[in-house]
Structure 1
Amino acid sequence: MPAEDNVPFPVRRVDTASLKALAHPLRVQILEMLSRYGAQTACSLGELLNESSGSTSYHLRQLAKHDFVREVEGKGTARERWWERPRGAIQIASPELAASPATEEASRLVTREFEHSRQAVLADFMAHGSESLDAEWLHAALISTANARLTADQLARYTSALEAFGHRLLEDIRNEGEQEGARPVQIHLNAFPILGVPASAGSRARMPRNVERQNIQRQNTQPESPERKVP
């Protein structure tokens, strides 16, 4: 998450009480549906999530108590309320939440649910995008991976700059208003250290530990010959 003054939207830091209210798989899914498709009723959310409207209505009210969702002003009736997610980001990770095993596990639950949702929509696009979308949409979409060796400071500078730029560009596009032909689009950004790889002592790149162990095992089991000596 970049510094809050670098992004054009509010960033909410979740406290213990609100985290406990959010730490339910269906509530995370409700937030995801509202983020993805915009305002919904309890009935339409039930259809999206294959749940009863009574269940989604209950969880919406619990989320509303902690300001994760709100009623849409001027829309709906007493019998059919419309709900939306307030503008802004939700920051789950914090030293305060990590200090308690219970809140740390709740944070992991919420993060896992959001990540499962991201993986599901990406897998669906990769499996069915070519048969469901026109060529212009496939050309506009991007799935990209880059690898580098960075320090923690370099990674922080990269992610902060990239996320701040991306959010500001997206905000400019949103300010243009919804255009004809628009459809829901989800944008993912992941940048993280690969586990199992030791930090460099200098400029010499190191192989992952499991690869080093495999190479050592091969060296120890391969017979020597005049043409090839195992060092």
Structure 2
Amino acid sequence: MPETEDGGDSPVDDPKIHTVDARTLRGLAHPLRLRLLNALREFGPATASGLANRLGESSGATSYHLRQLATYGFVEDDPERGKGRERWWRAVHMGTMFNSGRFMSHPDPEVRGAIGVVLHEIATTHAQELNTWLGTMHEWPEEWRRGWDVSDFKVRLTPDLSSELIGKIHDLIESYRDRVPEDTEGSATVRSHVHFFPRPAE
């Protein structure tokens, strides 16, 4: 999932962020489409065959689902690269936002099912990313083996206070964006996952 994390509920007035509606949610709600979109956002423009190799899929499947993503406005042709026989694709936006609570209570069961697919795929991606780091962290310099974290906290809140805390954490993370130039020696793209959810009383 360059990025405002998929799943955010706050409105954003930013042309780089796509706010999903019920129609485009249906177009996004497929595991391979979500993986394709994430790959284009993280690694840049690619062809269907290049994405097929990266994701372990057939080029026929990636080509079909890229066209579907284009139909719903998530990806587009990359005219700077698409001069040969292969068609190059790029992500239209850097991030995606949607109001998951509104879609969960939508009267159309297809919309409710679509948001479930998207949210579960996001959770799966987060788990895969963390497990990949845990399996490869020994390959990174000592400085990075000290500069990471996996923590969990328990605190009693009201829904309003939970929303307030989420907003503050998002603002804090955003305050670090663009502070480090792309070619800074020793730097890396840092992925952060933020999960907030209530637990039932025992």
Report the TM-score when normalising by structure 1. 0.73
State the shift of 1:158 in Å.
Answer: 0.7
SS at 1:188 equivalent: coil
State the shift of 1:71 in Å.
Answer: 2.5
Q: Structure 2 CA distance, aligned partners of 1:77 and 1:128?
A: 37
Q: Structure 2 CA distance, aligned partners of 1:15 and 1:2?
A: 12
Asked whether the 8 Å contact 1:4–1:10 carries over to 2, the reply is no
Residue in 2 that maps onto 1:126: 134
Residue in 2 that maps onto 1:103: 111
Counterpart of 2:148, as a letter, is A
Q: Structure 1 CA distance, aligned partners of 2:66 and 2:184?
A: 29
The answer to whether residue 74 in structure 2 is matched with residue 84 in structure 1 is: no
Superposed counterparts of 1:125-144, under 5 Å: 125-130=133-138, 132-144=139-151
Deviations 1:6-50 (A, max 9, x none): x86654332222122111111111112223323222111101111
Q: Structure 1 CA distance, aligned partners of 2:10 and 2:49?
A: 38
Q: Structure 1 CA distance, aligned partners of 2:103 and 2:14?
A: 25
Q: 1:150 to 1:69 in 2, by over 3 A?
A: same
Asked whether the 8 Å contact 2:103–2:112 carries over to 1, the reply is no
Report the TM-score when normalising by structure 2. 0.83
Q: Structure 1 CA distance, aligned partners of 2:77 and 2:156?
A: 46
Query: Higher helix proportion, which one?
Result: 1
Q: Structure 2 CA distance, aligned partners of 1:30 and 1:128?
A: 23
| Aligned structure 1 segments of 4 or more residues deviating by more than 6 angstroms | none
Deviations 1:199-227 (A, max 9, x none): xxxxxxxxx2xxxxxxxxxxxxxxxxxxx
Residue in 1 that maps onto 2:171: 164
Counterpart of 2:172, as a letter, is F
Asked whether the 8 Å contact 1:2–1:160 carries over to 2, the reply is no
Deviations 1:100-148 (A, max 9, x none): 2221111100111121111011012123322x22212212222222221
State the shift of 1:157 in Å.
Answer: 0.8
Asked whether the 8 Å contact 1:9–1:89 carries over to 2, the reply is no
For the pair shown, which has the larger CA radius of gyration, 1 or 2? 1
Q: Give unpaired runs (5+ residues) of structure 2.
A: 1-7
Deviations 1:152-184 (A, max 9, x none): 1111111111102212322x336x334345544
Q: Give unpaired runs (5+ residues) of structure 1.
A: 198-207, 209-231
Superposed counterparts of 1:132-211, under 5 Å: 132-170=139-177, 172-173=178-179, 176-180=181-185, 182-194=187-199, 196-197=200-201, 208=202
Asked whether the 8 Å contact 1:98–1:104 carries over to 2, the reply is yes
Residue in 2 that maps onto 1:215: none
The answer to whether residue 59 in structure 2 is matched with residue 35 in structure 1 is: no
Deviations 1:68-111 (A, max 9, x none): 11223412324223322222323252525632222111110011
